[in-house]
Amino acid sequence: MAKKKKLNKNWLHDHINDPYVKMATNAGYRARAAFKLKEIAEPEGLLKPGIKVVDLGSAPGSWSQVLREALVGPGGVINGRIIALDLLPMEPIAGVEFIQGDFRDEAVLEDLNQRLGGEKLDLVVSDMAPNLSGVAAADSARIEHVCELAIDFALNHLKPNGALIVKIFHGSSYSNIVHQMKQVFKSVSPRKPKASRDRSRETFLLCKGLK
């Protein structure tokens, strides 16, 4: 118990003193993760008015906030479309459609498909992460499953020149996930944004152009 309290205290200290947390607060973002998406997507020119994008694992909404900023035009009118989805509730964001539900649930996917109505997407972003148990083999399987769902969704809904940004974790499933991505996309590049904590095992794959 003492060790857990120390870990919580250390996390809180790091969090309070994290420059990205302070930047997020000042910029009005709901989480520091906003800067991860900006670092990955902005240099590639992926965030621009007129795009259609789905944000998977969107809560608390910082990635949707970044997407909205890119799409908002004169008078606050959204030029494009953003659909966000998460198992957890998310406070509303003007111009962002939100679906609460489990991405692995067929009924939730059907709701998303109906909203899209056959529209193809320019971008799919996924900050989804499964609940990790600490058991390496089980966690690798969960991570791989979530990534496979994101790949399958992108394959069915992206435009031929569309892009997918997906979070993965270094571990036994990493190379297999990258291999699967390369079967589907012309370009697959790992990204470790500065806004991602050094000790975190998370990384992101930027995948562009369907084969």
Per-residue pLDDT tens digits for 126-142 = 998 877 666 767 777 88
Model pLDDT for residues 7-23, shown as the tens digit of each residue: 455 445 455 568 888 88
The confidence score (pLDDT) of residue 197 equals: 81
Q: Which two tokens stand for residue 12?
A: 């809180």
Query: If you average pLDDT over every residue of the chain, what do you get?
Result: 88
Which of 9, 167, 192, 194 is catalytic? The answer is: 167
Distance CA 4, CA 169 (A): 23
With 0-12 / 13-18 / 19 or more C-beta atoms within 10 angstroms meaning exposed / middle / buried, residue 150 is buried
Active site residue 182: no
Q: Which residues of 53-86 are buried (b: 16+ CB within 10 A; e: fewer)?
A: bbbbbbbbbbbbbbbbebbbeeeeebebbbbbbb
Matching residue, tokens 């969090």: 15
Window from 2-6, 145-149, 186-190 with minimum mean pLDDT: 2-6
Record the pTM. Answer: 0.89
DSSP string, 165-193: EEEEESSTTHHHHHHHHHHHEEEEEEE--
